[in-house]
Structure 1
Amino acid sequence: MSRIKDTFIKLKERNEGALIPYIPVGYPDIECSENLIHTICESGADILELGVPYADPLADGPTIQEASAQALTNGANLYTCINIVRKLRHEGLETPIVLMGYCNSFLAYGLNQLAVDASEAGIDGFIIPDLPSTMSNSWVEVFRPFDLDLIFFLAPTTTEERALSVVQKGSGFLYCISVNGVTGERKNIPSELPSFLKHASNITDLPLCVGFGISTPGHVSEVNEYADGVIVGSALINVIKNSKPEQIEEEVMQYIQSLKAATKKPIRNL
Structure 2
Amino acid sequence: MNRIEKKLQSLQEKKEKAFITYITAGLPDMDHCAKLIRAQEEAGLDILELGIPFSDPAADGPVIQDASYRSILKGTNLRKCFELVDGVRKDGCELPIVFMMYYNTVLHYGLEAFAEKCAKVGVDGLIIPDLPLEEQQPLKDALAKQNATILIQLVAPVSGKRIPEILKDAKGFVYCVSSMGVTGQGASFHKEVISYLKSVKEQAQIPVMMGFGIRTAADVAPMKDIIDGAIVGSHFINLMEENQYDLDVAKAYIQTFKTELK
Tell me if both proteins adopt one fold, taking TM over 0.5 as the criterion.
yes
* Secondary structure of residue in 2 paired with 1:194: helix
Match of 2:92 in 1: 92
Matched, 1:151 2:149: no
Q: Distance in 2 between matches of 1:41 and 1:130?
A: 28
Q: 1:81 to 1:223 in 2, by over 3 A?
A: farther
Match of 1:131 in 2: 131
Match of 2:37 in 1: 37
Task: Tell me if structure 2 keeps the 8 A contact 1:22–1:232.
Answer: yes
Task: Point out where structure 1 has 5 or more consecutive residues left out of the alignment.
Answer: 265-270
Deviations 1:73-111 (A, max 9, x none): 111111111111111111111111110100000110111
Task: Tell me if structure 1 keeps the 8 A contact 2:197–2:227.
Answer: yes
Task: Tell me if structure 2 keeps the 8 A contact 1:52–1:77.
Answer: yes
Q: Distance in 2 between matches of 1:223 and 1:192?
A: 12
The root-mean-square deviation of aligned C-alpha atoms, in Å, is: 1.5
Q: 1:63 to 1:100 in 2, by over 3 A?
A: same
Q: Distance in 2 between matches of 1:165 and 1:140?
A: 15
Match of 1:210 in 2: 210
Match of 1:229 in 2: 229
Deviations 1:195-224 (A, max 9, x none): 111111222212110000111121244433
Q: Distance in 2 between matches of 1:163 and 1:252?
A: 35
The residue identity in structure 1 corresponding to 2:78 is L
The residue identity in structure 1 corresponding to 2:125 is G
Match of 1:115 in 2: 115
Once the 2 structures are TM-superposed, how far is the Cα of residue 188 of structure 1 from its aligned partner?
Answer: 5.2
* Secondary structure of residue in 2 paired with 1:113: helix
Task: Point out where structure 2 has 5 or more consecutive residues left out of the alignment.
Answer: none
Q: 1:69 to 1:87 in 2, by over 3 A?
A: same
* Secondary structure of residue in 2 paired with 1:230: strand
The residue identity in structure 1 corresponding to 2:257 is L
The residue identity in structure 2 corresponding to 1:251 is V
How many percent identity over aligned positions? 38
Once the 2 structures are TM-superposed, how far is the Cα of residue 55 of structure 1 from its aligned partner?
Answer: 0.6
Matched, 1:259 2:251: no
Q: Distance in 1 between matches of 2:220 and 2:200?
A: 19
Aligned residue pairs total: 261
Q: 1:57 to 1:104 in 2, by over 3 A?
A: same
Q: Distance in 2 between matches of 1:262 and 1:43?
A: 14
Match of 2:16 in 1: 16
Task: Tell me if structure 2 keeps the 8 A contact 1:127–1:151.
Answer: yes
Moved more, 203-212 or 59-68: 203-212
Q: Distance in 2 between matches of 1:62 and 1:4?
A: 28
Q: Distance in 2 between matches of 1:191 and 1:223?
A: 13
Match of 1:267 in 2: none
Q: 1:170 to 1:187 in 2, by over 3 A?
A: closer
* Secondary structure of residue in 2 paired with 1:180: coil
Match of 1:141 in 2: 141
Q: Distance in 2 between matches of 1:220 and 1:92?
A: 32
Task: Tell me if structure 1 keeps the 8 A contact 2:157–2:190.
Answer: no
Moved more, 217-226 or 142-151: 217-226
Moved more, 2-11 or 139-148: 139-148
Task: Tell me if structure 2 keeps the 8 A contact 1:28–1:70.
Answer: no
Match of 2:59 in 1: 59
